[in-house]
Amino acid sequence: KITMKYLNSHYFNINLYIKREDTIDNIGSGNKYRKISYIIDDAVSKKSTVLVTTGSVASNQCKAVSYFAAANQLKAHVVYGGDTQKKPHHAQGNYLLTSLFNPSVTWFEESKWEDISNKMDEIVDALLDRGESVYRINSGASEWPGIVGSIELGFELAGQCFENNIDGEVNIVLPFGSGGTCLG
């Protein structure tokens, strides 16, 4: 069970509660773990053989997809790219953790993010030509069924506010990329 931590800040005269999504799984993928857990069920039900996703070198999504693929005897193909992304000389952080799950990797260094979708299309087509059953997971994993993970987070947060007697006006502040977590 995830608990909300309480911090009383005498500097701002506020009650600050911190919800640590990075601690909900054993690989530190947080909200991406939530989303991919729904996506993997869909991929398995569709008899997919390979999951294809994209992200930056620090991507929790690439890590979670690679983890779930390995855990379900599926292949993973990770497409790294982005405006300032370069293949690291030494694997570290999420890039290292992702590599431990042994995905196939394609790099598009210093490529525009808006071009990555077309590059993913090419990779998906090549995999289909080889007879793979491909499940594509776009950046953010915020499409169906991944969005269910964000909705689950919203309900969980509301329940934790109720359990902790947090009522009245509540401001929720969070970092986001695709915005799917905010929607939840």
Assess contact for 76 and 66: CB atoms under 8 A: yes
CA distance 81 to 109: 5
CB 150 within 8 A of CB 35: yes
Q: How many CB atoms lie within 10 A of CB 132?
A: 16
Catalytic residue among 59, 66, 150, 178: 59
DSSP at 50: E
**Is 59 a known active-site residue?**
yes
Distance separating alpha carbons of residues 116 and 140, to the nearest angstrom: 13
In this structure, are residues 101 and 75 in contact, taking their beta carbons and an 8 Å threshold? no
Distances (CA, A) of 171 to 31, 39, 61, 157, 167: 19, 29, 26, 12, 11
Residues involved in catalysis: 59
